[in-house]
């Protein structure tokens, strides 16, 4: 017998052998147990994920004599036995109850008419005649229309199974008459495990990294992985006949660019080393690598860095463990803003590169541009944090206006004025002569000292801040009475008072979130926006209530980091306790715009003033 390729030799013959499609095989097996077998099925998905294989196993199972005659076997096993006459005929390709059509070559009306004529005849043996039509989206519109009536009212013995990679090309009139099953892309670890089993069965030793490289090259298709493995086995055998698959040989055969070259790119960007970048571009040219493929892999390389920055985990990176650890080490060398800028530039270069005759020249310029983008964006990212530390410039007073008191706010915050000393009285015992009042300036606006406010007036100068920071932390903008309480409690802190006051923590909470953002912890800040400060114990234990389950789990995971940042920012020995508020979670999802407007009118001083004095209403 001639050699049989791996994809055919190890083709699944049972539902249990189909990899990573348990949601489909389980549904089909349940329908067989319950006797609820439909007349039309559509199997859609990527190439090589098991669509036609599942259709063949299904066709084999519905006519298996043991499943028909043995109810116990049907209920407990629900797999074709492979031993009865129907299963043997199917394996030998001699079964007349199963017909396979290729719609790519038989896509006309005449072919469908011939199929319609054959459907009228019952099965030779068994209960059903199964028609498997592969690449059904290749049928013409007239062929689909000719098939409608048969599919709507088929004979009781007919089952149609359509396999396609492009579900959107099937007319809705056909799809609505069938049960649709979407086959998933096979995960990399499942493909690698299946390839390892094949190598063990063939008596071949293979490196785990080599098999993972083959699985990555397949991009979720099991058939592609098996075909590549066939090619690798033929290439990897050495002159002495040793049946070993090494990573280096697989990378050489597949022209795979090793991850080390991409780490060299990021190292050259971080060090602003243009010479190293040009050497790398020359290496790509000398080894015959495709520039488009290199840019595509480089985009994936930057994507892995973004995963580390945003998730602080490498679980979504499909690489060996040593490579994952290196991604975690090198992620801090570039900011997320720089990585996004470089990724956008690479995608634009990838689109434009095919229009240039000199690919190498354009490719070198693109790599040199990455150094500029990495350095420029990193500086821009740190600029706002530095600008915040600079003191605001003081506006010089006008020549015509008199000098105003320099600290009116400090005197206004004092709850009580200091009493005058007795020594200030005149020696004769007479009351002191009051000083004449200072003449008011000519301008009407200067009648009051700078910073003074009339009773009941509103500070309209900060209305934008009041609106922009309204949300889950809106209570940090407290009225003057609450601020006075905070200061009074701070004055008594020296005499055995609590470590921190809740209102004081809330007032600085917005600045604390900005502090975390400046340190590159944007993901942590997004989770804190779904939380609020609930309480603060006298010993300094801050309780944080979280209204989202996912945010609660992430905050629990990073509680040590958050606690250290909290203590460093407030300069207090604070401890952190995070709890999940399930009731508030349900209320948050159901909150309407009217509820938010009501909360805003109750907590925001400016909105309350607009409603009471101007009759403001919600326009929605």
Question: Residue 357 class from Cβ within 10 Å (0-12 exposed, 13-18 middle, 19+ buried)?
Answer: exposed
Rounded to whole angstroms, how far apart are CA atoms 205 and 195? 11
- Average pLDDT for 452-458: 43
Number of H helices, E strands in the chain: 30, 10
Q: Is residue 94 part of a domain?
A: yes
- In DSSP notation, 305-359 reads HHHHHHHS--TT--S-HHHHHHHHHHGGGS-HHHHHHHHHHHHHHHHHHTT-S-H
Under the banding of pLDDT at 50, 70 and 90, the label for residue 241 is: low
**Is the domain of 177 the same as that of 34?**
yes
Distance CA 104, CA 110 (A): 14
Q: Which residue, 342, 368, 385, sits at the end of a domain?
A: 385
In a domain, 394, yes or no: no
Residues 108 and 177 in one domain: yes
3-class DSSP string for 244-289? EECHHHHHHHCCCCCHHHHHHHHHHHHHCCHHHHHHHHHHHHHCCC
Q: Tell me, yes or no, whether 456 lies in a domain.
A: no
For residue 163, the SS3 value is strand
Cα(89)–Cα(165) distance, rounded to whole angstroms? 29
Can you say whether the dihedral through the CA atoms of 401, 407, 410, 416 is positive or negative? negative
Is the model more confident about 233 or about 412?
233
Q: Would 416 be classed as within a structural domain?
A: no
Minimum mean pLDDT range among 212-216, 331-335, 443-447: 443-447
Average pLDDT over the chain reads 78
Mean pLDDT (whole number) for 505-533 = 80
Instruction: Say yes or no to pLDDT of 443 above 90.
Output: no
What is the mean predicted confidence (pLDDT) over 104-116? 87
pLDDT band at 134 (very low <50, low <70, confident <90, very high): very high
Q: What is the pLDDT of residue 176?
A: 92
116-120, 504-508, 602-606: least confident range: 504-508
**Phi, psi dihedrals of residue 46, rounded to the nearest 5°:** -65, 160
pLDDT at 74 over 50: yes
Q: What domain count does the chain have? A: 4
Residue range 388-426, pLDDT digits in tens: 344 444 444 444 344 444 444 433 344 444 444 443 334
Among 215-224, 270-279, 359-368, 417-426, the minimum mean pLDDT is found in: 417-426
d(CA 228, CA 154): 41
pLDDT per position as a tens digit, 326-370: 998 888 888 889 999 999 999 999 888 878 777 888 899 999 999
With vertex at residue 169, the alpha carbon angle to CA 168 and CA 175, rounded to the nearest 5 degrees, is 75
> Does residue 210 share a domain with residue 344?
no
Q: If pLDDT is split at 50, 70 and 90, which confidence band does 603 have?
A: confident
Other Cβ atoms less than 10 A from the Cβ of 450: the count is 14
pLDDT confidence of residue 425: 39
Name the CA dihedral angle for 252, 257, 259, 263, rounded to a multiple of 10 degrees: 140
Q: Quick one: average pLDDT of 23-43?
A: 93
Question: Is the per-residue pLDDT at 289 higher than 70?
Answer: yes
Mean pLDDT along residues 568-574? 81
Kindly state whether residues 276 and 233 are assigned to the same domain: no
Report yes or no on 530 lying in a domain: yes
Is the domain of 74 the same as that of 138?
Answer: yes
Q: What share of the chain is helix, strand, coil (3-state, %, to 5)?
A: 55, 10, 35
Higher pLDDT, 474 or 180: 180
Residue 464 has pLDDT above 70, yes or no: no
d(CA 357, CA 393): 55
Q: Do residues 85 and 125 touch, judged by C-beta distance below 8 A?
A: yes
Quick count: other Cβ atoms within 10 Å of Cβ 119?
A: 18
Same-domain status, 72 and 173: yes
- Of 223, 238, 253, the position where a domain reaches its end is 253
Q: In the predicted model, is pLDDT for residue 605 greater than 80?
A: yes
Mean predicted confidence (pLDDT) in 566-581: 80
CATH number at residue 534: 3.30.300.180
| The predicted structure's pLDDT at residue 620 | 53
Residues 161 and 202 in one domain: no
Confidence of residue 593 (pLDDT cuts 50, 70, 90): low
- CATH, residue 48: 3.40.50.300
Residues 174 and 196 in one domain: no
pLDDT over 80 at 240, yes or no: no
pLDDT band at 471 (very low <50, low <70, confident <90, very high): very low
In a domain, residue 37? The reply is yes
Number of neighbours of residue 298 by Cβ within 10 angstroms: 23
DSSP notation for 21-83? -HHHHHHHHHHHHHT---SEEEEEESTTSSHHHHHHHHHHHHT-HHHHH-HHHHHHT-S--S-
Average pLDDT over residues 28-36: 93
Q: What is the mean pLDDT of residues 49-62?
A: 94
What integer pLDDT is reported at residue 390 of this predicted model? 44
Asked if the structure places residue 241 within a domain, the reply is: yes
Res 252 pLDDT > 60: yes
Q: What is the DSSP string of 75-101?
A: HHT-S--S-SHHHHHHHHT--SSEEEE
**Does 316 score more than 90 pLDDT?**
no
Residue 202 has pLDDT above 80, yes or no: yes
Which of the residue ranges 3-7, 487-491, 495-499 would you say has the lowest mean pLDDT? 487-491
Sorting pLDDT into bands at 50, 70 and 90, what band is 470? very low
553 lies in which domain range? 484-581
**CATH code of the domain containing 293:** 1.20.272.10
Is the same domain home to 374 and 270?
yes
Statement to judge: residues 177 and 149 lie in one domain: yes
Last residue of a domain, one of 153, 183, 213: 183
The predicted pLDDT at position 239 comes to 55
Which two tokens mark 361?
A: 């020249």
pLDDT (average), residues 202-206: 89
Same domain, 50 and 113: yes
341 and 369 together in one domain: yes
Q: Residues 230, 235, 236, 241: is their CA dihedral positive or negative?
A: positive
Question: Is 209 in a helix, a strand, or coil?
Answer: helix
pLDDT at 238: 62
Residue 455 has pLDDT above 50, yes or no: no
55 is a domain residue:
yes
Q: Are 184 and 45 in contact (CB under 8 A)?
A: yes
Q: What is the pLDDT of residue 592?
A: 58
């Amino acid at each position: 017998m001639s050699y049989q390729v791996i994809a055919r030799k190890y083709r699944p013959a049972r539902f249990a052998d189909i990899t990573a499609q348990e949601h489909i095989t389980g549904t089909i097996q349940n329908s067989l147990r319950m006797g609820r077998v439909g007349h039309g099925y559509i199997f859609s998905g990527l190439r090589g994920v098991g669509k036609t294989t599942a259709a063949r196993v299904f066709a084999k199972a519905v006519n298996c004599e043991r499943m028909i005659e043995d109810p116990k076997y049907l209920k407990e096993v629900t797999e074709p036995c492979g031993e009865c006459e129907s299963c043997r005929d199917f394996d030998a390709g001699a079964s007349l109850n199963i017909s396979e059509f290729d719609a790519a070559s038989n896509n006309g009306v005449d072919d469908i008419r011939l199929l319609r004529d054959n459907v009228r005849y019952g099965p030779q043996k068994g209960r059903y005649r199964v028609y498997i039509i592969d690449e059904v989206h290749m049928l013409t519109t007239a062929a689909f229309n000719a098939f409608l009536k048969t599919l709507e009212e088929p004979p009781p013995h007919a089952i149609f199974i359509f396999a396609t990679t492009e579900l959107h090309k099937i007319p809705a009139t056909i799809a609505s008459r069938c049960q649709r099953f979407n086959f998933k892309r096979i995960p990399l670890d499942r493909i690698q495990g299946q390839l390892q089993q094949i190598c063990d069965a063939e008596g071949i030793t293979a490196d785990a990294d080599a098999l993972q490289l083959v699985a990555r090259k397949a991009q979720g298709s099991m058939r592609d992985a098996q075909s590549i493995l066939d090619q690798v086995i033929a290439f990897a055998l050495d002159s002495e006949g040793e049946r070993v698959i090494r990573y280096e040989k697989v990378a050489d055969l597949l022209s795979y660019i090793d991850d080390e070259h991409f780490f060299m790119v990021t190292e050259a960007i971080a060090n602003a080393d243009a010479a190293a970048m040009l050497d790398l571009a020359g290496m790509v040219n000398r080894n015959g690598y495709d520039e488009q493929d290199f840019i595509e892999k480089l985009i994936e390389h930057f994507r892995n860095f973004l995963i580390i920055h945003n998730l602080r985990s490498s679980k979504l990176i499909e690489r060996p463990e040593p490579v994952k650890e290196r991604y975690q080490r090198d992620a801090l060398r570039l900011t997320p803003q720089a990585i996004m800028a470089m990724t956008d530039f690479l995608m634009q270069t990838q689109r434009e590169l095919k229009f240039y005759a000199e690919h190498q020249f354009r490719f070198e310029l693109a790599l040199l541009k990455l150094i500029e983008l990495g350095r420029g964006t990193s500086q821009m990212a740190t600029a706002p944090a530095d600008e915040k530390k600079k003191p605001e410039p003081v506006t010089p007073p006008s020549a015509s206006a008199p000098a105003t008191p320099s600290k009116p706010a400090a005197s206004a915050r004092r709850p009580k004025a200091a009493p005058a000393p007795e020594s200030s009285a005149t020696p004769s015992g007479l009351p002191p002569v009051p000083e004449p009042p200072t003449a008011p300036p000519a301008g009407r606006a200067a009648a009051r000292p700078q910073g003074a406010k009339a009773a009941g007036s509103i500070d309209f100068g900060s209305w934008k801040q009041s609106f922009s920071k309204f949300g889950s932390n809106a209570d940090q903008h407290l009225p003057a009475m609450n601020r006075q309480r905070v200061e009074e409690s701070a004055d008594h802190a020296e005499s055995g008072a609590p470590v921190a006051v809740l209102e004081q923590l809330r007032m600085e909470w917005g600045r604390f979130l900005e502090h975390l953002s400046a340190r590159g912890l944007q993901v942590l800040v997004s989770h804190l926006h779904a939380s609020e400060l609930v309480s603060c114990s006298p010993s300094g234990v801050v309780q944080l209530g979280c209204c989202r389950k996912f945010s609660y789990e992430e905050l629990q995971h990073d509680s040590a980091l958050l606690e250290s940042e909290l203590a460093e920012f407030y300069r207090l020995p604070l401890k952190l306790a995070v709890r999940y508020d399930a009731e508030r979670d349900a209320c948050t999802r159901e909150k309407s715009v009217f509820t938010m407007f009501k909360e805003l009118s109750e907590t925001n001083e400016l909105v309350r003033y607009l409603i009471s004095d101007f009759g403001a209403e919600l326009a929605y």
